[in-house]
Amino acid sequence: MSTPLLFIAVSLIWGLTWLAITGQLGTVAPAVSVTYRFAIAAVILLAWCWQRRLPLRFPWRVHIGIAGQGACLFSLNYVNIYVAEQYIPSGLTAIIFSLLAILNVFGARLWFGVPLTRRTVVAALLGICGVTLMFFPEFGEMSKHPEILKGIIFGVLGRLFASGGNMVAIYNNQRAKIPVWSGAAWGMVYGTVISAFIGLVLGVKWTFDMHPMYIASMLYLSVLGTVAAFLCYLTLLKREGAGLASYTNVITPVVALLLSTLFEHYQWTSIAALGAALALIGNFLTMRQPRKT
């Protein structure tokens, strides 16, 4: 697949995942749906690693790090995101998702001592102001619809867990030299187990929705949204480097917002449009590679 097609594929697939998650909401509890999703993805990835003869055996100490990665990235992150989308449109959840790049920068500073640049600080301020403005039209409705605040809180929690999972993955994978696919496969196994444990602790009902929409969205999220998009993204990363690959995270929320407008009837205002622009500019500045001198 050519580089432009890889870029388009990743952006469109991940952009559609936010709307696809809405097909998972309803009769099945979020923790249960997340368990199903990553159980399917884990089986596919383990088979992929076995077929490509990638290492799958690691010392128990390495597994502790992988379990931490899986708990944050493939369980707590998505359980919170699924809950958030019960209260706010998928496009707004995707905008909260765009803060991940900014959170990763501050996480790298906290975990690894990576210095912050002036551009990073400006980008963070733009991103935070942008997200605030996007939700500004909703603030006036919070007294009537307090669930909006719940959606924001769960969405931000999901991003915080995702950023923490990224930091664990960087530290653990670099130290133990774990192949990305092997680490992701085992991470999804642990994420599946932890999501199931969350469901048991919360006492939710273990059901499965046989409605075609639920099954279709589940297969899309597991096979395309998780495995195929990840494969395309890593191929793009290897071929073109982090610069171009990272810009898919700018396009993804744009796609999600457009789909939310079309299918969820998200109502745009001038303030929300300005907020979206600022959030995306902040995200762009965060991921833009510095010029080499």
Question: Residue 219 — pLDDT band, cuts 50, 70, 90?
Answer: very high
- Cα dihedral 280, 70, 204, 24, rounded to 10, equals 40
In a domain, 293, yes or no: no
pLDDT digits 0-9 by tens, 123-150: 878 888 888 888 776 666 666 777 888 8
Lowest mean pLDDT among 67-71, 82-86, 162-166, 261-265: 162-166
Read off the pLDDT of each residue in 88-103 and give the average, rounded to a whole number: 81
pLDDT digits 0-9 by tens, 42-65: 999 999 999 999 999 999 888 998
Question: Residue 244 — pLDDT band, cuts 50, 70, 90?
Answer: low
Domain span holding position 108:
3-287
* CA-wise closest residue to 190 among 82, 45, 93: 45
Three-state secondary structure string covering the chain: CCHHHHHHHHHHHHHHHHHHHHCCCCCCCHHHHHHHHHHHHHHHHHHHHHHCCCCCCCCHHHHHHHHHHHHHHHHHHHHHHHHHCCCCCHHHHHHHHCCHHHHHHHHHHHHHCCCCCHHHHHHHHHHHHHHHHHHHHHHCCCCCCCHHHHHHHHHHHHHHHHHHHHHHHHHHHHHHCCCHHHHHHHHHHHHHHHHHHHHHHHCCCCCCCCCHHHHHHHHHHHHHHHHHHHHHHHHHHHHHCHHHHHCHHHHHHHHHHHHHHHHCCCCCCHHHHHHHHHHHHHHHHHHCCCCCC
Burial degree of 55 (CB within 10 A; 0-12, 13-18, 19+)? exposed
> What pLDDT does residue 214 have?
96
Non-local (6+) Cβ contacts of 134 within 8 A are 92, 95, 272, 275, 276, 279
**293, pLDDT greater than 50:** no
Question: Residue 36 — pLDDT band, cuts 50, 70, 90?
Answer: very high
In a domain, 261, yes or no: yes
Select the more confidently predicted residue: 220 or 275: 220
- Which tokens belong to 140? 């006036």
- The rounded distance, in Å, linking the Cα atoms of 106 and 169 is 16
- Which tokens belong to 226? 């998780």
Lowest mean pLDDT among 1-10, 97-106, 124-133: 97-106
**92, pLDDT greater than 70:** yes
Arithmetic mean of pLDDT over the chain: 85
* CA-wise closest residue to 21 among 78, 65, 77: 78
Question: Residue 241 — pLDDT band, cuts 50, 70, 90?
Answer: low
Instruction: Name the domain count of the chain.
Output: 1
Task: Tell me phi and psi for residue 142, to 5 degrees.
Answer: -65, -30
pTM of structure: 0.87
In a domain, 292, yes or no: no
> What pLDDT does residue 81 have?
94
* CA-wise closest residue to 231 among 40, 21, 49: 49
pLDDT digits 0-9 by tens, 162-206: 888 878 877 776 677 788 888 889 999 999 999 999 999 999 999
